[in-house]
Amino acid sequence: MIVVIDGPAGSGKSSTAKAVADRLGIQYLDSGALYRAVTLVYIKSNLNRTTFFDQLKSIKISFRYIDSFFHVYINSEEVSQEIRTMNVSDKVSEVASMPEVSAYVNRLMNDAVKHDEYIADGRDLGTAVFPNAAMKFFMIAELETRAKRRLLELKSQGSNVTLEQILLNISERDQKDSSRKADPLRKADDAIEIDTSSFIFEEQVGFISEKIRPLVKSKTK
């Protein structure tokens, strides 16, 4: 069983999806984190596409969701913190627009969800990766609200990034993600839209959890 939440950067997808996963005892999958890990491989390949595509064939990206934290590994090295740096954020949309990269990440995700019940968040999950998802949500919020949320998140991790840098980064990413040729950011026709600027977090989590609960077979609920 797979439920998806798509939406632009900072719309509240990942914190909501994690809280829903924890409430219902299902797995959480952060597709953006996988794109970020692949971007790190690109950066470490000195932005050389030939080296990068070779690397992509030989490395193994894996992930685990434990205690409300999505851990990502390249081979056996954990990169969960490194993938959140602005260095990666500034390159990720360019890397995600490469068809080889989306094919790689989509394969990783499809393999994972065969074995458990998942809620995943991303940009193109409802439209392209999981068109037959059991339920789809699309989250939106004003740019300023999204940037302030991202700022708080990054500051709590010790980053000294400014609001202006974040505003620039997420507006550029939104623009690239929505205008790319293959599978741009877009609400699926059958997705439920939620404007998170006007929702209290707990209400949002409760709303989505109650919609999904009847579909969940496993564990705590």
Question: Residue 77 pairs with which residues in a beta bridge?
Answer: 74
DSSP of 158-182, one letter per residue?
T----HHHHHHHHHHHHHHHHH-SS
Q: Would you count residue 61 as binding ligand C5P (CB under 6 A)?
A: no
Angle at 89 between CA 23 and CA 119, to 5 degrees: 20
Question: How many Å apart are CA 220 and CA 167, to the nearest integer?
Answer: 39
* Strand stretches in 61-218, DSSP E: 61-66, 69-74, 77-78, 118-122, 135-140, 192-195
Q: Which of 31, 127, 169, 196 binds ligand C5P (CB under 6 A)?
A: 31
Q: How far is the CB of 52 from ligand C5P (least distance, A)?
A: 16
- Single-letter code of the amino acid located at 191: A
Q: Would you count residue 9 as binding ligand C5P (CB under 6 A)?
A: yes
Plot region of 17 (φ>0 → left; ψ -120 to 50 → alpha; else → beta): alpha
Nearer to ligand C5P, 120 or 216 (CB): 120
Helix (H/G/I), strand (E/B), else coil: 104: helix
Q: How far is the CB of 128 from ligand C5P (least distance, A)?
A: 8
Nearer to ligand C5P, 106 or 204 (CB): 106
Nearer to ligand C5P, 12 or 122 (CB): 122
Q: Which of 2, 32, 42, 98 binds ligand C5P (CB under 6 A)?
A: 32
Close Cβ partners of 11 (under 8 Å, ≥ 6 residues apart): 139, 140, 141, 146, 196
Which residues 115-154 are close enough to bind ligand C5P by CB under 6 A?
122-125
Q: Count the residues of the shown chain that bind ligand C5P, applying the rule CB under 6 A.
A: 14
Q: Which of 173, 194, 208, 212 binds ligand C5P (CB under 6 A)?
A: 173
Q: Which of 72, 96, 119, 147 binds ligand C5P (CB under 6 A)?
A: 96
Nearer to ligand C5P, 107 or 213 (CB): 107
Residues in the chain: 221
Q: Which of 11, 16, 27, 93 binds ligand C5P (CB under 6 A)?
A: 93
Site residues for ligand C5P per CB under 6 A:
9, 31-32, 35-36, 92-93, 96, 122-125, 173, 177
